[in-house]
Amino acid sequence: MNFEIIKELSVTSPEKIVMLVLDGLGGLPEPKSGKTELETAIIPNLDAVAAKGICGLSDPIAPGITPGSGPGHLALFGYDPLANRIGRGVLEAVGIDVDLGSEDMATRGNFCTVDNKGVITDRRAGRISTKKCTELCRILDGMKIEGVDIKLYPVREHRFVVVFSGRGLQTAITESDPSRTGVAPMEIKAESPAARNTADIVNKFIARAKEALAAHQPANMILLRGFAKKPQLPSMKEIYKLNPLAIAAYPMYRGLARLVGMGVADTGAGIIEKIKTLKKNYQKHDFFFLHIKLTDTAGEDGDFTRKVKLLEEVDAALPALTALKPDVLVVTGDHSTPAVFSGHSWHPVPVAISSKYCRTDGVKEFSENAFISGGLGRIHATDIMPLAMANACKLIKFGA
């Protein structure tokens, strides 16, 4: 959908939209039972949402394309994920409240362990404490290499963000993290002649970091990946005239919400805390993005039973959310993460939209298979926001 049209048609109204995103929601059948996670879980409240609402399946990017979390969420917020690419470094940085300038280049970092030959033995340095990570970041923070200021920010455990500030930095460089142990960190290489200077600066930074960390076993080296600059996205306020609030605990999703101009609430990790946060802020906003991470983590870990249990936990908490009687409730995911696939997948994602005017279909059960015959059919994820807006009476008629 073209943002210019939505901008033209969107209006402010008292109606409230809650978008509940169960990360990695869609699944695949477990071979023995032939049932997916959603089909296995006992989820009467989600089933009720499906029965009251209109249901369907959505493609976050396009049929066959497996989305990362960034593009999956951008699509849910209505942004074309192919036209708006966001690098991992930027997501991590904005997720910890780092205010990136338009020239800044951010990257994700890991403290890791290398042996005396420089070979990686642990990509996470034994998951050092966040406190230790903070101390080590302080050691490396504040370098200046060839006019470029380098700042470090601890994230959690072994993870941190590096921000390079200077003119002419180019993100077309390779990563140093080989994503496996038993090999040495890779040299950063320029992917275009213009990026040679940037690659050089980053390599010098890594060399200096190695020296400075030599005595800090197991965190005696760093790995960098996801070099990126901040994209210029129009805010959800500009597009939809919404005053949106994100209720998410995991840094990356908080960062993503900030990139599209959402407010970000302080909240706990569980669904119960998040619904409490929703309740507390309910009068102050008209759009709420409520993010549940753990369903995805269970899928990525290949833990079918845990994903089922987590879906049941979400279901059990749901009445506290529906008690608020949001005018529009959207329940969906950013992509599928089937436990039998142990990773994000390309499969379309269940989506249910419940509202007074949703045109309820015959679907009674919240599942991948039941949603095939839903009234929404198979849609593009970027259609979800316009549909939510319409159901909330926030889009006026197009043309006379």
Which DSSP state fits 231? -
The two tokens of residue 320 are 């506290």
> Which one of 24, 154, 226, 255 is in contact with its own copies (CB under 8 A)?
226
DSSP 4-41: HHHHHHB---S--EEEEEETT-----BTTTTB-HHHHS
Angle at which helices 69-76 and 88-95 pack, to 10 degrees? 70
Among 180, 193, 325, 400, binds its own copies (CB under 8 A): 400
Distances (CA, A) of 292 to 184, 272, 334, 357: 36, 11, 11, 27
155 CB-near residues (< 8 Å, 6+ apart): 92, 95, 96, 133, 161, 251
The least distance separating its own copies from the CB of residue 184, rounded to whole angstroms, comes to 23
* Among residues 107, 176, 345, 354, the one that binds its own copies under rule CB under 8 A: 345
Cα(61)–Cα(75) distance, rounded to whole angstroms? 7
Q: Residue 97: which residues within 8 A CB-CB, separation 6 or more?
A: none
Using the contact rule CB under 8 A, the part of the chain among 62-70, 112-120, 232-240, 302-310 near its own copies is: 62-70
SS3 state at 167: coil
Binding status of residue 364 toward its own copies by CB under 8 A: no
The single residue among 236, 292, 314, 389 that binds its own copies, judged by CB under 8 A, is 389
- Of 94 and 219, nearer to its own copies (C-beta) is 94
Cβ partners under 8 Å of residue 281, min gap 6: 245, 247, 265, 288
Binding to its own copies by residue 180, rule CB under 8 A? no
The reply on whether position 330 binds its own copies by CB under 8 A is: no
Longest Cα–Cα distance in the chain: 74
- 57 belongs to the binding site for its own copies (CB under 8 A): yes
Residue 70 near its own copies by CB under 8 A: yes
Q: What are phi and psi of 330, to 5 degrees?
A: -110, 125
Stretches 185-193, 272-280, 305-313, 342-350: which one binds its own copies (CB under 8 A)?
342-350
32 near its own copies, judged by CB under 8 A: no
Identified binder of its own copies from the candidate list 344, 351, 352, 367, rule CB under 8 A: 344
Interface residue with its own copies among 15, 17, 41, 71 (CB under 8 A) is 71
The verdict on 39 binding its own copies (CB under 8 A) reads no
**Given candidates 82, 183, 194, 214, which one binds its own copies under the rule CB under 8 A?**
82
HSE toward the beta carbon, residue 48, CA cutoff 13 A: 8
CA-wise closest residue to 293 among 245, 246, 248: 248
* Beta carbon of residue 232, minimum distance to its own copies (angstroms, whole number): 17
Q: Which segment (146-154, 198-206, 320-328, 372-380) binds its own copies by CB under 8 A?
A: 372-380
Under the criterion CB under 8 A, does residue 297 sit at the interface with its own copies? no
Q: Does residue 215 touch its own copies according to CB under 8 A?
A: no
Residue 98 is a binding residue for its own copies (CB under 8 A) = no
Q: 36 φ, ψ to 5°?
A: -80, 175
Q: How far is the CB of 389 from its own copies (least distance, A)?
A: 6
Helix (H) or strand (E) holding 290: strand 287-292
Binding of its own copies at residue 354 (CB under 8 A)? no
Report how far Cα 214 is from the mean position of its chain's Cα atoms: 34
Q: Taking CB under 8 A as the rule, does residue 3 contact its own copies?
A: no
CB 275, min distance to its own copies, A: 26
Task: Give the binding site for its own copies (CB under 8 A).
Answer: 1-2, 5, 9, 28-29, 36, 57, 61-71, 81-82, 85-88, 91, 226, 338, 340-341, 343-347, 357, 359-362, 368-369, 372-379, 383, 385-390, 395-400
